[in-house]
Amino acid sequence: EEQRDSNVELNHMQFGSFIDPSSLSEPAVAEGPLLHSEVTMLSNSTQMGGPLRFAVDHFANEQQCRDLTEFALNAGVLGDGYSGKASPNTEHELFQGLSIYTATELAIKGKVPVKVAALYFDLSEQVRQQVKLYFKLEELYPHYTHLVCRTSITNQTDRSDLSLPIHADNCNLQPNGSCLKHQNSLYWRDYSAILYLNEDFNGGEFIMADSNAEKITMHMKPKCGRLAGFCSGKQCSHGIKPITKGSR
């Protein structure tokens, strides 16, 4: 994720009446098929507080999560995708990232097991397939996959900033609520997805905002194998709460 500069920082948002999908007792009904029998529905759009979004669990197993978490921590490049800025979003955290291209290069050089680089690629492809299936799309072209790790460096708990400000993935949110699609906004994106790999950190909840990006409407704690899929436009504005301890 590059080009955050012109995104508005909405740090003083209301955290009023949000939904915590994991606290809902009603089972979520999937809108489209799940990729395989291990995958379980966590929340549909109703439970996620808006259209074009879903979350499932068990999309990766514990071993896969461990392998990729270790890979991200050991090989993730500081400031990758942010012109090498080690703390691009907040001074309280470090950001590391690894593209599939870089992962493949490391495998070719023998610096990482081919199996791990292949796992990264395979899961990325499965995520694409799941998003395509769930939203019943005729085609969904992959644009970019990033294996990223955000690490708390100050362990400060009373932060007023976010780990990642509320933003949309295919346009630049403006203070007046509009979202500008220009050259730097990755405007061709239609859907985004995140596969979480760990939960041993404090904070770092994924949050989604209302269509004016004024109020947080949902928050969700990451964990191994949890997958969130959503539209890339401003109706699916989202961000990350501060990580106050550990690596996410």
Ligand X SMILES: O=C(O)CCC(=O)C(=O)O
Q: Give the nearer residue to Fe ion in terms of CB position, either 189 or 245.
A: 189
**Minimum distance, C-beta of residue 196 to ligand X, in the bound complex (Å):** 7
189 is catalytic: no
Total binding residues for Fe ion by CB under 5 A?
1
**Minimum distance, C-beta of residue 96 to Fe ion, in the bound complex (Å):** 17
Q: Residue 225 and residue 164: Cα distance in Å, rounded?
A: 21
Whole-Å CA distances, 115 to 89, 100, 118, 242:
32, 13, 5, 33
Site string for ligand X, 152-191 (x = CB under 6 A): ------------x----x----------------------
**Minimum distance, C-beta of residue 144 to ligand X, in the bound complex (Å):** 10
Site string for ligand X, 214-243 (x = CB under 6 A): ------------------------x-x---
Q: Residue 46 and residue 40: Cα distance in Å, rounded?
A: 17
Q: Which of residues 153-192 bind Fe ion (CB under 5 A)?
A: 169
Which residue numbers are catalytic?
248
Question: Residues in the site for Fe ion, rule: CB under 5 A?
Answer: 169
